[in-house]
Structure 1
């Protein structure tokens, strides 16, 4: 198709930079019930199975981040060329869009298509702010990874059009670490030859008191936060036998990283890693630009080492397009969301802002496979779990952060720490409080 050729041509000449899709939890909002969209009923366009006929006179407003607008400007231009639908782009931070849509949607002034991290989906769907991805559901499910589909599904309904993934992986200095470690046993062996606390040199460093980065020590060996793929708040698995096995590995690593959790933060870790005083760092793509600038060809990316003999399971986030349920042009909006999340669009997004594709064919494309940095993140994403998007996720951080700190700093028995965290989490959920 001509437009695919144009997209691929744009992909071939774009330059790489990196941005992040931050995630944050917020309270479930109240919203009016959206009015029925009677402008047009879905109908197949000739020659394009599953496509919709856009409403007469349709024009779209898209909300996009400042950092990723360079991509959306290009994709909107191509969309307009194909469908003759004008597109206006307004800069709104993705993490602010659900809150903004809560008021702007019912007022009829919200964007037709929005983009936000999947951990905001529960709020948006519960408040009926977004439409299901129905007309393109089968195509979306076929084209994207299962964990991406899981991330943009809420209460068994597919809402999102996935466009990019985010997870953390193992950064390593290839001048210091000749081969990425396959397991944490390998990490320990290397660190015993490198770590020197007196000289502030460490084989590996990560935020040991942060639940987000330590989820692999819960999930890799069989633990979980909520059952049924993160949707069942009554089934808490952060203190089961699997989680305990992983937490014992976590506790043992204090030997090679004898630093209190409060003394490890992004700034400290960044300085040590770029100076060559930390050989390995578990971190996300938001650090890629700075690390690449500092280390150049010495920078390597690999999946997180195995834990307890099991592949490490990280948290992942999925940024996706969603259609405003109050849009006057729902067909046109769905067409844009589909167009802007295709394989070619995701490859363009990667070239423009360094994103990780969720599209399975894009992940196997030479553009991604031949990029040793991004392919490392892709490998970890394939073995990740989407962060739960249910509102009760807001209550997880405080109890589990406290448990990690007690184990790491004070040597508390992992079982006692996890049991306390699970009890506290249940209390918070039952009381309706976050902290």
Structure 2
């Protein structure tokens, strides 16, 4: 390794260590849609206890009791609680709902000691680590097979439930970023069809409207937000066997695109900065997810949704990560069969349609998607999730966040050339994977 490469690896390593010390992780759909929930990327949570910190809520009064640990809150939770209340009364069961901070990590301690729930509600990226640690159990023996999933749910949601050829969850809803544009600033025909078109239009728009921007997103230091460009370029960020294609020729092309974006957007551009520009109508387009729609509506912005453009280097559309919220069956569930029946009900078309209408959730159930296709917002996100990549659900996702976030950071700031940055990130990823194997 030459001196310059050595220094660049050292720079990225230092940034990774600083990030770990500050417990800062990539922005994910889970963290944005549900501010109370932990991010789907790894975080440095100090010493979680096995005990939940909120009193339980109970619905129904039957002799069979099903305990659910979750992170649902506010108005979003009200609709979900009513769904379970209706089921409890109809089926003569008692359902206990516990709001558990840091639910995924607390389950790691509670389930082996027999203090855990029957059902864990979370996001699909924790499936692999939870299965390996025997915190959750596969559903195949209960009739929830890959075939069942693919018959009932959208392909991207079904695939997100499968780890090492076994099923570990029932999908609830999906989240992915897409293009959102301000109709007062540009017309639908102005939304770019390709990344070359995007850059050209951005340069023209920015020059004609000083102090405003054609396109913004959470561009600096966030691989989750950058994933559409790498996937669209033909790069698998994390493969099921724990490898990455980030350092490939296609990876370099995607990294160069990130660098090109840094020249048409503000240099300091995190999630809050990008969102504020769009909210203040100083940006015509933002790439964001369903978690932000209520804010835009409250602000009175007349907006539309459009697919992420084609990545010009490959001719393939930009493909965002699709995070899938789900219900998982705990390994030591006391009422496993009753819990599975409840999970199946929660994944049904009628339930997911209701939650989509009330909470504007993007349903994973195929029939529910058809029933809410008249809602342009939900339909827009459904269309984008159909062209997305499931959030990796293997244990190797934990090796991705810090190295790749820092790769995006050094590309954006110019601290490393794209060609070198992807090589350094791949090396650090491989080191992290080796520790996991």
Shared fold (TM-score, shorter chain, > 0.5): yes
Q: Larger deviation: 185-194 or 204-213?
A: 185-194
Match of 2:421 in 1: 417
Q: TM-score, normalised by structure 2?
A: 0.80
Give the direction of change, closer, same or farther, for the CA distance of 1:392–1:197 in structure 2 (3 Å limit): farther
Match of 2:41 in 1: 24
For residue 158 of structure 1, the aligned residue among 138, 153, 167 is 167
1:268 paired with 2:280, answer no
CA displacement, residues 370-396 of structure 1 (integer Å, 9 cap, x when unaligned): 111121111111111122222332222
Contact 2:238 2:400 survives alignment (8 Å): no
Contact 1:176 1:279 survives alignment (8 Å): yes
1:102 paired with 2:128, answer no
Structure 1 segment 247-266 matched on structure 2, within 5 A: 247-257=255-265, 259-260=266-267, 263-266=268-271
Match of 1:401 in 2: 405
Give the direction of change, closer, same or farther, for the CA distance of 1:77–1:421 in structure 2 (3 Å limit): same
CA distance in 1, matches of 2:34, 2:415: 37
1:178 paired with 2:198, answer no
1:82 paired with 2:90, answer yes
Match of 2:366 in 1: 360
Superposition deviation, residue 403 in structure 1: 2.2
CA displacement, residues 237-281 of structure 1 (integer Å, 9 cap, x when unaligned): 112122223333332233322x32xx1122222221111111111
SS state of the match for residue 25, structure 1?
Answer: coil
CA displacement, residues 118-141 of structure 1 (integer Å, 9 cap, x when unaligned): 111122111112121222324333
CA distance in 2, matches of 1:397, 1:113: 27
Give the direction of change, closer, same or farther, for the CA distance of 1:254–1:69 in structure 2 (3 Å limit): closer
CA distance in 2, matches of 1:27, 1:195: 40
* Aligned residues: CA RMSD: 2.5
CA displacement, residues 44-81 of structure 1 (integer Å, 9 cap, x when unaligned): xxxxxxxxxxxx94211222312432132222122123
CA distance in 1, matches of 2:381, 2:404: 25
For residue 201 of structure 1, the aligned residue among 201, 212, 215 is 212
Contact 1:224 1:243 survives alignment (8 Å): no
CA distance in 2, matches of 1:270, 1:221: 26
Q: Larger deviation: 246-255 or 112-121?
A: 246-255
Match of 1:332 in 2: 338
Give the direction of change, closer, same or farther, for the CA distance of 1:408–1:99 in structure 2 (3 Å limit): closer
Q: Larger deviation: 195-204 or 176-185?
A: 195-204
Match of 2:251 in 1: 243
Query: How many residue pairs were aligned?
Result: 379
SS state of the match for residue 364, structure 1?
Answer: helix
Match of 2:49 in 1: none
CA displacement, residues 336-369 of structure 1 (integer Å, 9 cap, x when unaligned): 000011111111111232211111222222x2x1
Match of 2:9 in 1: none
Give the direction of change, closer, same or farther, for the CA distance of 1:240–1:374 in structure 2 (3 Å limit): same
Contact 1:108 1:326 survives alignment (8 Å): yes
Match of 2:307 in 1: 303
Contact 2:41 2:401 survives alignment (8 Å): no
CA distance in 2, matches of 1:251, 1:317: 26
Match of 2:347 in 1: 341
For residue 225 of structure 2, the aligned residue among 213, 234, 244 is 213
1:112 paired with 2:118, answer yes
Structure 1 segment 61-80 matched on structure 2, within 5 A: 61-64=67-70, 65-67=72-74, 68-80=76-88
Give the direction of change, closer, same or farther, for the CA distance of 1:391–1:26 in structure 2 (3 Å limit): farther
For residue 134 of structure 2, the aligned residue among 128, 133, 145 is 128
1:92 paired with 2:100, answer yes
1:168 paired with 2:172, answer no
Superposition deviation, residue 190 in structure 1: 2.6
CA distance in 1, matches of 2:262, 2:334: 57
